[in-house]
Amino acid sequence: MISKNRLKHIQSLHLKKFRLEHQCFIAEGVKVVNEFIGSAAYKPLEVFATVPYLNAHHKQLEENNIPFTEVSEDELKKISLQSTPNQVLAICPMVHQKLDAVKLHTHLNLFLDDIKDPGNLGTIIRIADWFGIPQVICSPTCAELYNIKTIQATMGAMLRVPVIYENFGAVLKTAPDVTIYGAVMEGINVYKTRIENGILVIGNEANGISDDVLSHVNRRITIPPAGNNGSESLNAAVATAILCNEHARLHVV
C-alpha cells in the first residue's frame, strides 16, 4: 500500500520540473529495474513492485539494501508512466557526470546538437554503448536523459555510458585542437575517408547541425544515398550508428 502523500510525490516525478527539484527519476519494467539495481551510481532509492516481482527478486533488493513496497496492479498503474506497466517501478537518483577531456583525444566521442526526440537520444546512447564510445555529450537543448522514453530506449546502456550536458563552446575549450567530425548532407563521402578519434557531431532531427557548432566542424561527413528514389534523410540515430560503425570497422578486426 502506498500512502496518499507518497503517491503524490511519485506522480510529481512524471514531470521534468519535479524530477529536477527532487534530483530523482522513475525507471520501470523488470529488465530495466534489474539493471539499475546492479548499478553503483544509479542504485534505486526505493522500489514499488507487485507480488510476482517481489517473489522473484526480493533477495536482490534486500542484498542491496533497497527499500521496497508491495503494490497492487491498480496502484502500479497510478504511479506508472507506461500504458501497460510491467511489475515494478524504481525511483533512482540523478547522476551528474563530468566531461572526460582526455578521452576527447583518445576515442571517438559524440556531441548531440539539439536532439529533441527522447527515443532517438536513448537509441543513440545504446549505440554508443555497443561501439565503445566513452561519453555522449548533449547540448543543453537536447531531450532529457531522465525522460522515461529515453531511459526505456537505452535498454540499460545509460548505466555504462556517461551522458554529459554541456555547451559546445565549453567542450571546445577543454580540447581546442581535437578533430570535429559533423554528419551533414553535403560533405566528404564517408566511404572515402576515415573517421578517427575526436568528436562526431550529430544535428537536430529536422534542422541538422546549428550554424554555430557547424562553424567548428573541420571534417564534414556524408553518408551517400545508395538509392535514387528521392530519399531525403536518415533518422538521426540511424546516421549515428552508421558513422560509429565506420569508425569501429577501422579498429575491430
Binding site for its own copies (CB under 8 A): 119, 123, 126-127, 129-133, 155-157, 160-161, 189, 191-192, 223-235, 237-238, 241-242, 244-246, 248-249, 251-253
Query: Taking the complex as a whole, how short is the minimal distance between the CB of residue 221 and its own copies, in angstroms?
Result: 13
Q: Strands 180-189 and 163-165: what pairing?
A: unpaired
| Comparison of 64 and 233: residue with beta carbon closer to its own copies | 233
Smaller CB distance to its own copies: residue 14 or 160? Answer: 160
Indicate the DSSP class of residue 132: T
Q: What is the DSSP string of 25-87?
A: EEEESHHHHHHHHT-STT--SEEEE-HHHHHHHHHHHHHTT--EEE--HHHHHHH-SSSS--S
**In the complex, least distance from residue 56 CB atom to its own copies, rounded to whole angstroms:** 18
Written as nine digits, the cell of 37 is 539495481
The alpha-helical segments, DSSP class H, found in 84-206 are 103-106, 118-130, 148-154, 168-174
Residue 134: CB minimum distance to its own copies, A: 9
Query: Closest Cα partner for 112 from 222, 179, 215, 209?
Result: 209
Query: Is 50 or 120 the residue whose CB approaches its own copies more closely?
Result: 120
As measured in angstroms, the least distance from the Cβ of 68 to its own copies is: 25
Alpha carbons 99 and 122: distance in angstroms, whole number = 19
Query: Min. distance of Cβ 74 from its own copies in angstroms?
Result: 24
- 71 vs 121, beta carbon nearer its own copies: 121
Q: If you write DSSP's letter for every residue of 205-239 in order, what string do you get?
A: TTTBS-HHHHTT-SEEEE---S--S------HHHH
Name the DSSP class of 191: G
At its nearest, how many Å lie between its own copies and the CB of residue 117?
A: 11
Which residue's CB is nearer to its own copies, number 50 or number 123? 123
The residue (of 50 and 152) whose beta carbon lies closer to its own copies is 152
